[in-house]
Amino acid sequence: MASFQTILIIGATSGIGEELARQYHSLGKQVIISGRRTTRLDTLAAQLLGVGVIQIDVQDLDALPRKIDEAFTMFPEIDAVIVNAGIQILLDYTADNNNNNGYPTTANITKEITTNLTGPTVLARCIIEHFRASRPSQASLLAFVTSGLGLVPATMLPIYCATKSALHYFTVILRNQLKDTPISVVEILPPYVKTELDVAHADEMAKRLGGQKPQGMPVKEYVESVIKGLAVTQADGKIQKYVAEGLPRVAVEAWVQALGPIAQMLHMDL
Ligand SMILES: NC(=O)c1ccc[n+]([C@@H]2O[C@H](COP(=O)([O-])OP(=O)(O)OC[C@H]3O[C@@H](n4cnc5c(N)ncnc54)[C@H](OP(=O)(O)O)[C@@H]3O)[C@@H](O)[C@H]2O)c1
């Protein structure tokens, strides 16, 4: 069982990140929350005694090194970071650019790629540098929240699925690059969970899927399973590579089984 004590959650103002903050806090962990919405950060800080707060906009790439420096200066004992921030935009490459119907504007494409992919990859560099300096031989955790849709895509979410798929591959490569360090690089692949992620387009998605609105998993229940998953270690003492259940678990296991032997030829461990 791995046990981390000081956890920075990037994207903790709602949904999965907020619930991770609440549950880790109730387990007695030092939690540091972040996100863009200051009112949400203030409200959570008032509810969770002793929680650390740092406002971070993952899209502000130039500010990320300074923000991570700030977090580690305030809490040098950070031993786990969960990069959870993400957005989802319904985009349709057949739409006309004349109304609000999912036309893929450059602004929306850029926003989604920066939040879901570029930001996390820059954050990874900053966090790894801190871990290697502050915990050269002690265990630490760097976890990324991808999605089952990174492996099995959905037609309405072209950029979202592309970013999550890319983040999935990035996580695999990072884990291989860091194999001789004490840093566990973990991918969390949520199934469909009831959060604010799709409030703007859940009805439209349901309509396009034939009228049926899928039932999302309750966030509390889902996060309980993530916390259990992040405590599972492998034979080498690191945290298990993939924290997934349900359909994402089926997808990731099938992917590892099908491509693992080929990846071995490139000295890559899936
Ligand atoms: N819910 C699902 O069904 C599902 C399934 C698979 C994967 N996921 C992934 O799970 C993660 C959490 O999503 P959720 O479902 O919990 O949705 P959510 O309730 O919308 O939460 C998203 C979180 O990301 C933060 N965030 C978004 N843009 C940000 C930015 N530029 N800078 C910093 N923080 C930012 C938000 O904070 P601010 O708005 O305050 O910045 C919020 O805390 C995402 O990566 C999502 O893709 C969710």
Q: What is the pLDDT of residues 45-54, one digit of tens each?
A: 999 999 999 9
Sign of CA dihedral 245, 250, 253, 256: negative
CA of 134 to the centre of ligand 1 (A): 28
| Domain residue limits, the chain | 6-265
Asked if pLDDT for residue 140 goes beyond 80, the answer is yes
- Per the structure block, which two tokens stand in for 138? 């002690």
Question: What residues does ligand 1 touch, defined as CB less than 6 Å away?
Answer: 11-17, 35-37, 40, 56-59, 84-88, 115, 145, 147, 190, 192-193, 195-197, 216
Q: Which of 24, 93, 160, 222 is catalytic?
A: 160
HSE of 234, CA atoms in CB hemisphere, 13 A: 12
Rg (CA), the chain: 18
Q: Ligand 1 centroid vs 189 CA: distance in angstroms?
A: 13
Q: Which of 72, 73, 68, 57 is nearest to 118 (CA)?
A: 57
In this prediction, residues 152-178 reach a mean pLDDT of: 97
Name the closest-CA residue to atom 1, ligand 1: 193
Question: Do the beta carbons of residue 6 and residue 79 sit within 8 Å?
Answer: yes
> What is the position in ligand 1's atom list of the atom closest to the CA of 216?
3
Whose CA is closest to atom 29 on ligand 1?
85
Q: What percent of the chain has pLDDT over 90?
A: 90
Neighbouring CB atoms inside 10 A of 31's CB total: 26
Write the residue with the smallest CA distance to atom 26 of ligand 1: 85
Which is it for strands 52-55 and 242-244: parallel, antiparallel or unpaired?
unpaired
Confidence grade of residue 225 (pLDDT, cut at 50, 70, 90): very high
CB 147 within 8 A of CB 190: yes
Residue 1 has pLDDT above 60, yes or no: no
pLDDT at 29: 98
Q: Do 60 and 120 touch, CB atoms closer than 8 A?
A: no
Sheet holding 242-244, edge to edge: 52-55, 30-35, 6-10, 80-83, 140-145, 183-189, 242-244
Average pLDDT, the chain: 96
Collapsing DSSP to helix, strand or coil, 146 comes out as: coil
Q: What does the pLDDT look like over 56-100, one tens digit per residue?
A: 999 999 999 999 999 999 999 999 999 999 999 999 999 988 777
Ligand 1 midpoint to CA 147 (Å): 11
CATH code at 6-265:
3.40.50.720
Distance CA 63, CA 195 (A): 27
For position 2, what pLDDT does the model report? 66
Q: How far away, in angstroms, is 11 Cα from ligand 1 center?
A: 6
Please report, for residues 66, 103, 114, 190, the alpha-carbon distance to residue 61 in angstroms, rounded to integers and kept in the order given: 10, 25, 8, 25
If one counts every other C-beta atom within 10 angstroms of the C-beta of residue 209, the result is: 13
Q: Is 192 a catalytic residue?
A: no
pLDDT bracket for residue 204 (50, 70, 90): confident
What are 52's strand-pairing partners? Answer: 32
What's phi and psi for 47, nearest 5 deg?
-85, -30
The ligand 1 atom at the shortest distance from the C-alpha of residue 58 is 32
pLDDT tens sequence across 179-193? 999 999 999 999 999
- Quickly count: other Cβ atoms within 10 Å of residue 218's Cβ: 12
Ligand 1 atom closest to Cα of residue 40: 40
